A and B are shown apart, each in its own frame.
Chain A
Amino acid sequence: MNRRTFGKTILGLTAAAVALSFGIGGFAGAVAAQDKLKVGFVYVGPVSDHGYSYQHDVGRRAVEEALGDKVTTTFVENVPEGADAERVIDQLAASGHGLIFTTSFGFMNPTLKVAKRYPNVKFEHATGYKRDANVATYSARFYEGRTIAGEIAGKMTKSNVIGYIASFPIPEVVGGINAFTIALRKVNPEAQVRVVWVNSWYDPPKEAEAAKALLDQSADVIVQHTDSPAPIQVAEQAGKWAVGQSSDMTRFGPKAHLTAIVDDWNGYYIDRVKAVLDGTWQPIDTWGGLKDKMLFMAPYNPAIPGDVVEMVEKTRVDIMEGRRHSFDGPVKDQSGKVVIAEGKHASDEEILKMDWFVEGVVGKLPK
């Protein structure tokens, strides 16, 4: 084939491709609904992470199901926390969205910048602390779930070493490690927690590597504050225990999966969308726990003995009814100094700023 006929072939192929796609795709343009409220969601991870972003998307679908005749929803996944976030949020606001949920901490300042430009659009930012006339914040008291996981781990461990895969040393994660460790040592004073930082929310290979490293250090329960099910799979293969994160991860390791701390945004998202529809929306701060059904525990593994299930169920009810707090004193820090006095518990502000480890955590907190 010489050059000329080759060129012709390319042209022919292109023409055929164009014709083909017309046949398949057709011109079925969707009719844009003008009168419905458009609700946008911005996710830091892929919807398929089976963890944090996935769970927010479950909430989005719940909104569609409950209020589908009054709203349409849009989501943008895998949005990097940086200069790009502002553009994505701005595009959602500019394209007629009336309510926008930005679901990761790194979206805080971009959300506030965009909110100033669109005073008529309502914004909701998850896990941050800055609000404005049209910016509300919301988060869940994930640490309450960690307390229950800690008690289970304390009863199930044989080696008395718990491996903890952590994302970033921010207060939410540090507080989670502390709540877990306090509960763990309440039922098993000999047990210790070893922490590995992976510096990512979602990195399956790194998380799996961290899990293997922890198992090598004789850990027999793997806990994670990262979003992929990779650590569960590693624990399953090794015949050890694991606690899932953000969503029920049982199917990734039916034998290993003790329970999971499941985020449940469905109720909150439906309420907030309704509030915008009714005109009663306010830029409030919501920090809900087990009581508010913003998180719940995935079904307990049948391998957990009945008396342990009974014990943690009592703990769960006590937390919900206010008889127990995850940070009940006395709590000592790593140097043995009492930081939370007996008879008191950590205040919300202390939890939100937590940057120290409790006794029983091995290793230094990176600062």
Chain B
Amino acid sequence: MAKVLSNMPLAPGIYLLTVEGTYRARMGQFYMLRCWDSYPVLSRPISVHDISPESISFLYRAGGIGTHLLAKLQPGDSLQLEGPMGRGFPEPEGRTAIVGGGMGTAPMLLAARQLPEAQVFLGFKDAPFGVSRFQDIHSNVTVVSGGMIADHIDPACYDTILACGPVPMMEALAYKTEGSSAKLYVSVEKRMGCGIGACNSCAVTINGTVRKVCTDGPAFPAKEVNWIDLLSL
């Protein structure tokens, strides 16, 4: 069992949970979190927001039963962490852009930390949240509130783009990068059971074959993604 160091609201319904301990993760990987016994049945897959030698943190929205229970955690409380799960983002080549939209900014802080040369783009439907943590470690942070983040990115300026956000945002980026030499990788979501590749629940069609978000992803090359597949979460 791991111990909660802090669990602070950053915006209405959005929390930053920091857990004590030495953990490892590469950008885009996630952990399965659980702070309850048998209800809800499944643990919750939450991407790693940040990591330090003494702690790991997760940025999440209290949307359903599980995340509401997570939101009640107090410093000193214990919870279970299993991970890191998934392969995360691949190592980018050349000039890199990091793009996060809304809750999709959560996994991108670790990417920003691991890629100090990259340019960071953060998009929000309403008021931005968690931006200062990016600005603390990065000088190249563009923040857009309302509107389309894709409008602010010129794919010709990058060799690699790493993105996570709502499906329409990632799809817009995918259209925009078509015909450019930039390689776009998107981190996707599906309802997940085990997180370790055993239950085949989080299947997505990638390049015409069925893959698992948990162990084959959650990041995939955008041009191999079947977007319709991602609409039924």
Q: Is B truly associated with A? A: no
